[in-house]
Structure 1
Amino acid sequence: MDFEFNNRSRAEVLAPAGSIEIAKAVINAGADAVYLGGDMFGARAYAGNLNNEEMLEILDYAHKFGRKVYLTVNTLLKQNEIDNNLINFLIPFYENGLDAVIVQDLGVFNLIHENFPDLDIHASTQMTQTGPKGSKILRELGATRVVTSREMSLSEISELHKELPDLEIESFVHGALCYSYSGQCLLSSFNGGRSGNRGRCAQPCRMAYDCMLNGQTINKNNEKYILSPKDMCSIPILPDIIEAGVYSLKIEGRMKNITYASYVTSMYRKYLDMYFERGREGYKVDKKDIDNLLDIYNRGMFTTGYYNSTKGREMISLNRPNHMGTKALRVLKNVSGKITFKALEDINAGDVFEIEDGISFTSGNNVKRNDTLVVNLPKKYKLFEGRVINRMNNAKLKALVMSEYVDNPPKIKVDLSMYVSVGSELVLNASIKNPDYNNKYYGKLKNKKDTYYSNDYEDYEYLDVSYIGPVVSKAKSASITKESILKGICAMGDTNFVLGNAEINIDGNAFLPMGQIKQARREVLRLLEEKIKNNHKRTYVKPEILDKDGLTKDMASNSEDKKLSLYFKDIDLSKKITNYSLISRVYIDFNDLFSLASKFKDDSKLSEYKEEISRIKSFNTKLYMALPHVLKTSHLDTFKKLIDTAIYLDVDGFLIRSLEELAFIDEYIAKLDRSLDVILDSNMYVFNTWAKEEFLKIPLNKFKIKGFSAALELNERELRSVLDESFELPVLTTAPLMISEQCPKRTFNACNKQRENYLLKSHKGNDYEIMSICSFCYMQMNSKKINLLDTNEYKDLKVGYLRFDIEKENDLIELIRHFKKLEDYSLLDIMDKYNEKRIVEYGHFYRGVE
């Protein structure tokens, strides 16, 4: 197909690629940009990914057609990885015109922004961005785009766009949905060491489970895939998504094959163009296109995700966790294995049909809808009359992709003008529309403070080159004609160019061999390709090294002893300790106070809480409220009441679990004549010292970041390279394995809007406690209790604080057993009540993650 460069700045189709072949195919299929991983640091470690040579090749290929390439560097990096490899890995891609990097780790964010100030940074969906406040922080740190959490609704995205109109929004529109918030899932990590935060998720959410509520199984036998969402398809609501402010329409699928990636890309290209050409009134979705997308891949039909769907049963593929295919054949009769099927759709030779899991057959013929297909199959299969068989592979779609998009690049229209004058050199000029003309990524300064381009991109409307050939001689007989020259220059063979306009100027009775004409054409196109390629080149300039001491010295503690922090999941347990003089920090859980958040001073229970908090603080113990794991704009009213309650209770600060919370509270309390402290919890990942530095750069008004929590996926050796006295080490805790907008209680119509704990039992023998957090309408899956108190290594770690999560009296016993000096300050009658087997689960303290 012919291709003309145009301004696609209104929105882009962003396609995935797990190999260079797929990357080229999705560009051929109409992608404005492609996102892919190199051979390091991508969040799909088991995708094909591209080696360095392939990365450089695809950069040139994409830029030739005015497309962009975004590199995924969207994993958490350990200290040795980020120090020794990251910048050197990126330099050749940067110098070859890499358009952007997609980042999860704030340490990676820090180093990329410092080393490549003119390289766009896109904040990955792994950063769990759910609203405008946290996104504003990322913009101020240097992000040019935020990839929203899949859980955001259209109204929430619209609010983000209204508050930050200069920040690009990228949102997923098609493909697999995660059950958990991206970046907030440790289930695979704690199951077998394969961390989703490191691009190695084993997808335990796609396994079979039973849901146990009050001792009863509430899911049916054929509804085992409780944590497996359906795939998303947003074509029916694409106008709504664009009008909400989404700029980049992201297709999931770096693990998918070339047929999937290319065909899905072509469909979103079709419908995005349709919307901009015809408007909302002319936007019509062809059912056949949706059927074809289902044929390509679906997990039990499609959902529009969280954009406008009600979370719950309709979003979950309860019966099957993988491709379900489409209904294609119905058994009319079975005579001793000779099966007569009725075709429910047009059947193609080469289509694959599933009989049982892992058992399939292939059609040898083309069959029209409602015609019959006769196949001989073993008698053992239960192919009874009336049974419907699904098609799992559509051969026609696969063939279409191969013919239309694989090895079939777009053609660029080039205007040629040749000047032939006897006694002068032959001149052939070539001109194309500059693929990057007025592209905000090239040719002008970015809207970043003290950040400038270090390269010289051309910002001309057209790219022009000239070839100067040999001197033209006078014809001895017949002279060259315009028609002959045109014939010689228009045949462009297997190049990426086709002739647009041609101007031929002949002065005098000129002789010009056809070989010279063709040579001129080849050379001018070669020069044009070189100019397009060089238009993206830039040079890496190593920055001066920052003084780290200036960023961290105020965080250090002079205390030689590790201080103690207690996190009470139930504030009533705090009364078991009569003297807090040896406790430095106390956390109270937001869930414990939520029911009181709207009542205030005249409520006796709230007064009781205030009295207990005052007692604890009287020992010079700092008291913090631990906040929810996620905050969405739809829950802001609830959150405000919670913060008002915390301020009334005179807390010293908050245990923060999201950037959205951090920014919102800092702005909300700006009217108060006081400052509050912040401790960042473990899910505010500090995998390396660079991440800590970046957190400390966040511009805050009334907050001061006073501490960090050790990352739960680093082992003891890796922690040593990160921790200092500003860190808190959880030594008795439960890890939040999953934070999800979904909730199995709601899936099975058992939602009573009451906070309670229940169980998920995997068919491999693992039990997981589920907490329904009804106050903010999400669920939390917890690990077994992690207890590092029997290890010796934790005592040698350089941390300022040791944290104990107190969920029941037995946790207080563990505390007292290991810190005998607390015995005089505790009610020891509880020691006689419990004699349970001691816990020896160590989490990742020894094993770590890949």
Structure 2
Amino acid sequence: MTTTPQSSAAPSKHYYQRPELLAPAGNWDCAKAAIENGADAIYFGLEQFNARMRAENFTQADLPRLMAYLHKRGVKGYVTLNTLVFTHEFAAAEQYLRTMIAAGVDAVIVQDVGLCRLIRHLSVDFPMHASTQMTVTSAAGVAFAQALGCQLVVLARECSLKQIHKIQQQLKTQALEVPLEVFVHGALCVAYSGQCLTSEALGGRSANRGECAQACRMPYELVADGETVDLGDRRYLLSPQDLSGLAVLPELVQTGVTCLKIEGRLKTPEYVANVTRVYRQALDRVLQSAADRYTVLPSDRYALEMSFSRGLDSGWFEGNRNQTLVHGRFGKKRGVYLGEVKRVSQTGVEVELTAAVKPGDGVVFDGGHPEASEQGGRVYSVATQASRTRLTFGRRDLDLSQIRVGDKLWKTSDPELEKQVRQTYSGDRPHFQQPLLLEVYGQVDQPLTLVGRDRQGHVVQIESDRLLVEAHKRPLTTQTLEQQLGRLGNTPFYLAQLTNHLIGALMLPVSELNQLRRDLVAQLVQLRQQPLKWHLQSATTYQTLLPPLSAPEVASSPQLIVLVRNLPQLQAALSTGVTTLYCEFEDPRKYQQAIEWVNQQRSAAQTDTTALPLSLWLAPPRITKPSEVYILEQVKRAKADGYLVRNYDQLSYFAGERCIGDFSLNVANPLTADYFKQLGLERLTASYDLNIQQLSDLLSQTPPYWLEVTIHQHMPLFHMEHCVFCAFLSTGQDFRDCGRPCEAHQVKVRDRVGTEHILQADAGCRNTVYNGVAQTGSEYVHRLLNLGLRHFRLEFLQETPTQVKQIITSYQQLLQGQISGTRLWQTLKLSSQLGVTRGPLEAPSE
């Protein structure tokens, strides 16, 4: 396998925009692998604030050298600062940003709203990309990111091709020109990025802080109506196959997206090289030929499967296909499927092969228990007779007695391919060169003028020391010029086009042409390596953005806010005297009845002059796609007192109404809180990523009456487009043919330690897995009260009305000082058997 110069800079025969190919780089070798295999840009993290903290990553001190190296090769470099930033971290984040701006980084990829504000405060022009962690699924989300100052938006992986087209159309209608980026290959998170709290809740390792523990890759059992569902060998209920957009690449290009992104900052250089090469060449085929003649080469699919594969799927590009996205049989790398074992002897196995295998290849035998130790090793010999192939192995490589007829065989390693891949980026000579356009000018008794242009727009013009003379033999023809000036083998360039403007038959010594070529390349390389110049406000700091602290605008007595998820819970909550209620129902059509009940309660309370006003707020689903405005319309028709806003569409749709921001807005610092308050939200829910110390820091720098804190809940672990109900309790692909098992069954997923986590669907058919163990921050309520917090939320899930009353009463006693937080925790654990734990407010152990 050799990487040849590409001509992708040449004008396409079609109108399609040439999207940038963006590759991951967890270290220097990965960066080199990406460059030498055709990446237009790489993205990478530094020591802090990036969503892949387990990667080797680069350092701040690496930046000047890394950016010079990238720009020399005509490749852009984007730094990922795509995590939430806590209050005490802004000084460090500011220093990171100053270092990046000074080093000429091409752009920064950001999740945190407050960090976006700081970036634009420090620099008016430093490019900022909205991370997929911002959970943008619509034109409203794109507009939100643009208003923050983002020049590009990475869409959520859950957007289909049709939805991307729809978003583009809506942006055009709104006269918004914002480039869009999508992931084209790599691991798929089952939960919406920026909305997964599983690692935080179960292990204290936040996915929003780059420390995902990959709980989605673990086996689970499905429990429906109290009975374990027999799913055979399908136990990896939340582990999607890996994304491969190769089959839909022409359609992706036709959506007009600006950038195609490869996932994999935790992967090896071989992975980066292989996947980048496949997509580089496939993308160039799309751009250079009619899309209807594009096909996926078998060799490309093989290379992708051998690089890293849990199975390859087009993800959500073709819509929700719940039967194929998650096959459920394993959650780790497999590779290429070779077939089933047909016979096992003392010296080898016989297989009916579905793909080629050769001596030296690595294989693994899959007996349907991927969580257990599996047999595998290097193939020693291959002998084919009739329809079967006999494979033998080294004596100590594996235990043949552990292999059974029917076991599946996977090829996990191809040393020959791996060697070829490493050769694409080994050594110092450039393997992948970018196009150089040359123009030659001159006439007799004048120097030869050589103009060179690269794809990035750099231009160099030089003149020969000698003058051109009339040629009596062998004049400088276009062919001669191409031959001499095209000798660019050890440079970042190849000669893509030479335009000859010489007047007459002219001559110049070959040595002079060679020197011109060398000088032009040297000057062009030097020009490319110069750091990009971004404006930087040297005297500006994050502290000038902090909101002013002021006295509370409301009475200082603490208030309980209760969120219920069905009508019986609402009735129970109303009976306790709680005056602020949130409703989050799966079916928004039931909100009208909730409003009627509350209005009846208001009428009954009119004679009580001491009663506080009763208010009911409605919660739309957490995600809004382009075609789902009808759900918001259903919610609004109920005419509630206000709305619990979860996303950017709802910020826009309910503008002018009373609104409170929910936890899904990821308010983790005062700069973020201040921004949402400026958008008109009455109050904000503190991020569930905050422990007690981080929450205390937030309250110390933010007016406490801006915030409410959830102190009792079943933590929403995974929030997913993937429908477990549809995938495992039906044969349908989506809501149109699944039979709606979510309406007929109560379903839980049981983890490896026996905890049964509650599964629920919403109005958009999205699933949420809620922690089966309720969590409380009761032991920290007294501390939060001392910090000025006055709004405390309780969230219920499947609790009975009796449990709802008991829990609310206990927290009312806590706020009135009648019981301690510890007593409440212990009492609820014993009496209601909810298994309450201290939850996310607990500070991590040292």
TM-score, structure 1 as length reference? 0.82
Which position in structure 2 is the counterpart of 1:441? none
Secondary structure (helix, strand or coil) at the match of 1:381 reads helix
Secondary structure (helix, strand or coil) at the match of 2:562 reads strand
* 219 and 234 in structure 1: CA distance in 2 versus 1, 3 angstrom threshold: farther
Which position in structure 2 is the counterpart of 1:444? none
Q: Which amino acid in the other structure matches residue 717 of structure 2?
A: L
Which position in structure 2 is the counterpart of 1:747? 727
Q: Which amino acid in the other structure matches residue 540 of structure 1?
A: L
Please, which of 395, 400, 411 is the counterpart of residue 415 of structure 2? 395
Cα distance in 2 for residues equivalent to 1:773 and 1:17: 37
Which position in structure 2 is the counterpart of 1:154? 161
Residue 803 (1) aligns with residue 793 (2): yes
Moved more, 814-823 or 90-99: 814-823
Which position in structure 1 is the counterpart of 2:823? none
Cα distance in 2 for residues equivalent to 1:747 and 1:181: 18
Residue 209 (1) aligns with residue 232 (2): no
Residue 705 (1) aligns with residue 681 (2): yes
Partner deviation per Cα, 1:151-187 (whole Å, 9 max, x = no partner): 2222222211111131222122222211111111111
Please, which of 371, 375, 384 is the counterpart of residue 392 of structure 2? 375
| Residue 794 of structure 1: how far off its partner (Å) | 3.0
Cα distance in 1 for residues equivalent to 2:630 and 2:403: 56
| Residue 684 of structure 1: how far off its partner (Å) | 1.3
Residue 784 (1) aligns with residue 773 (2): yes
Residue 542 (1) aligns with residue 538 (2): yes
Q: Which amino acid in the other structure matches residue 617 of structure 2?
A: Y
Please, which of 692, 695, 708 is the counterpart of residue 676 of structure 2? 695
Residue 528 (1) aligns with residue 528 (2): no
Which position in structure 1 is the counterpart of 2:312? 302
TM-score, structure 2 as length reference? 0.82
Which position in structure 1 is the counterpart of 2:146? 139
Q: Which amino acid in the other structure matches residue 686 of structure 1?
A: V
Cα distance in 1 for residues equivalent to 2:439 and 2:187: 47
Residue 70 (1) aligns with residue 78 (2): yes
Residue 353 (1) aligns with residue 363 (2): yes
Secondary structure (helix, strand or coil) at the match of 2:652 reads helix
| Residue 628 of structure 1: how far off its partner (Å) | 1.9
Please, which of 684, 689, 695 is the counterpart of residue 719 of structure 1? 695
Please, which of 641, 646, 669 is the counterpart of residue 652 of structure 1? 641
Partner deviation per Cα, 1:590-629 (whole Å, 9 max, x = no partner): 30762435xx6xx8x8644542366679732443223322
| Residue 786 of structure 1: how far off its partner (Å) | 2.0
* 245 and 524 in structure 1: CA distance in 2 versus 1, 3 angstrom threshold: closer
Q: Which amino acid in the other structure matches residue 360 of structure 1?
A: G
Secondary structure (helix, strand or coil) at the match of 2:811 reads helix
Cα distance in 2 for residues equivalent to 1:250 and 1:729: 36
Matched-pair identity in %: 23
Residue 2 (1) aligns with residue 18 (2): no
Partner deviation per Cα, 1:626-679 (whole Å, 9 max, x = no partner): 33222223332233112111x1xxx3211111122211222xxxxxxxx42221
Q: Which amino acid in the other structure matches residue 657 of structure 1?
A: R
Partner deviation per Cα, 1:36-82 (whole Å, 9 max, x = no partner): 2122211111122222354433433333344322221111111222x
Cα distance in 2 for residues equivalent to 1:26 and 1:235: 18
Which position in structure 1 is the counterpart of 2:811? 815
Cα distance in 1 for residues equivalent to 2:204 and 2:227: 31
Cα distance in 2 for residues equivalent to 1:193 and 1:18: 24
Please, which of 45, 54, 57 is the counterpart of residue 46 of structure 1? 54
Q: Which amino acid in the other structure matches residue 525 of structure 1?
A: V
Cα distance in 2 for residues equivalent to 1:775 and 1:346: 44
Q: How many residues align?
A: 784
Secondary structure (helix, strand or coil) at the match of 1:389 reads strand
Q: Which amino acid in the other structure matches residue 724 of structure 2?
A: P
Which position in structure 1 is the counterpart of 2:750? 761
Q: Is the 8 A contact 1:31 1:269 kept in 2?
A: yes
Q: Is the 8 A contact 2:94 2:541 kept in 1?
A: no
* 418 and 159 in structure 1: CA distance in 2 versus 1, 3 angstrom threshold: closer
| Residue 534 of structure 1: how far off its partner (Å) | 2.2
* 707 and 510 in structure 1: CA distance in 2 versus 1, 3 angstrom threshold: closer
For residues 53-202 of structure 1, the aligned pairs below 5 Å read 53-81=61-89, 83-165=90-172, 166-202=177-213
Q: Which amino acid in the other structure matches residue 361 of structure 1?
A: G
Which position in structure 1 is the counterpart of 2:20? 12
Cα distance in 2 for residues equivalent to 1:383 and 1:245: 50
Which position in structure 2 is the counterpart of 1:286? 297
Secondary structure (helix, strand or coil) at the match of 2:30 reads helix
Cα distance in 1 for residues equivalent to 2:834 and 2:415: 59
Secondary structure (helix, strand or coil) at the match of 1:143 reads coil
Secondary structure (helix, strand or coil) at the match of 2:743 reads coil
Q: Which amino acid in the other structure matches residue 330 of structure 2?
A: R
Cα distance in 2 for residues equivalent to 1:36 and 1:811: 47
Q: Is the 8 A contact 1:151 1:181 kept in 2?
A: yes
| Residue 736 of structure 1: how far off its partner (Å) | 1.3
Partner deviation per Cα, 1:658-717 (whole Å, 9 max, x = no partner): 122211222xxxxxxxx422211122111111111332444xxxxx21111122221222
* 368 and 798 in structure 1: CA distance in 2 versus 1, 3 angstrom threshold: farther
Secondary structure (helix, strand or coil) at the match of 2:275 reads helix
* 366 and 247 in structure 1: CA distance in 2 versus 1, 3 angstrom threshold: farther
Secondary structure (helix, strand or coil) at the match of 1:725 reads helix
Partner deviation per Cα, 1:407-448 (whole Å, 9 max, x = no partner): 5231553648799999x9xx88653224323xxxxxxxxxxx
Which position in structure 2 is the counterpart of 1:663? 652
| Residue 840 of structure 1: how far off its partner (Å) | 5.3
Partner deviation per Cα, 1:571-592 (whole Å, 9 max, x = no partner): 54455577888x5x51231307
Which position in structure 1 is the counterpart of 2:737? none
Q: Is the 8 A contact 1:24 1:61 kept in 2?
A: no
Cα distance in 2 for residues equivalent to 1:402 and 1:592: 52
Cα distance in 2 for residues equivalent to 1:128 and 1:359: 40
Which position in structure 1 is the counterpart of 2:734? none
| Residue 463 of structure 1: how far off its partner (Å) | 0.8
Which position in structure 1 is the counterpart of 2:370? none
Q: Which amino acid in the other structure matches residue 659 of structure 1?
A: Y
Which position in structure 2 is the counterpart of 1:620? 613
Q: Is the 8 A contact 1:354 1:361 kept in 2?
A: yes
| Residue 297 of structure 1: how far off its partner (Å) | 2.4
Cα distance in 2 for residues equivalent to 1:380 and 1:627: 56
Which position in structure 1 is the counterpart of 2:837? 841
Partner deviation per Cα, 1:380-415 (whole Å, 9 max, x = no partner): 434566765221112333233223345523155364
| Residue 549 of structure 1: how far off its partner (Å) | 8.2
Secondary structure (helix, strand or coil) at the match of 2:364 reads strand
Secondary structure (helix, strand or coil) at the match of 1:276 reads helix
Cα distance in 1 for residues equivalent to 2:533 and 2:450: 21
Q: Is the 8 A contact 1:18 1:36 kept in 2?
A: yes
Cα distance in 2 for residues equivalent to 1:840 and 1:504: 81
Partner deviation per Cα, 1:288-346 (whole Å, 9 max, x = no partner): 432332233222x3222122243423211311101122233666765421456665433
Q: Which amino acid in the other structure matches residue 662 of structure 2?
A: D
Q: Is the 8 A contact 1:552 1:693 kept in 2?
A: no
Q: Which amino acid in the other structure matches residue 629 of structure 2?
A: L
Q: Which amino acid in the other structure matches residue 562 of structure 1?
A: P
Which position in structure 2 is the counterpart of 1:738? 718
Secondary structure (helix, strand or coil) at the match of 2:80 reads strand
* 248 and 612 in structure 1: CA distance in 2 versus 1, 3 angstrom threshold: farther
| Residue 718 of structure 1: how far off its partner (Å) | 1.5
* 531 and 623 in structure 1: CA distance in 2 versus 1, 3 angstrom threshold: same
For residues 454-465 of structure 1, the aligned pairs below 5 Å read 463-465=459-461
Partner deviation per Cα, 1:476-527 (whole Å, 9 max, x = no partner): xxx99989999997755633245675989999x999996x987776554322
Please, which of 323, 334, 338 is the counterpart of residue 313 of structure 1? 323
Moved more, 324-333 or 69-78: 324-333
| Residue 756 of structure 1: how far off its partner (Å) | 6.0
Secondary structure (helix, strand or coil) at the match of 2:779 reads coil
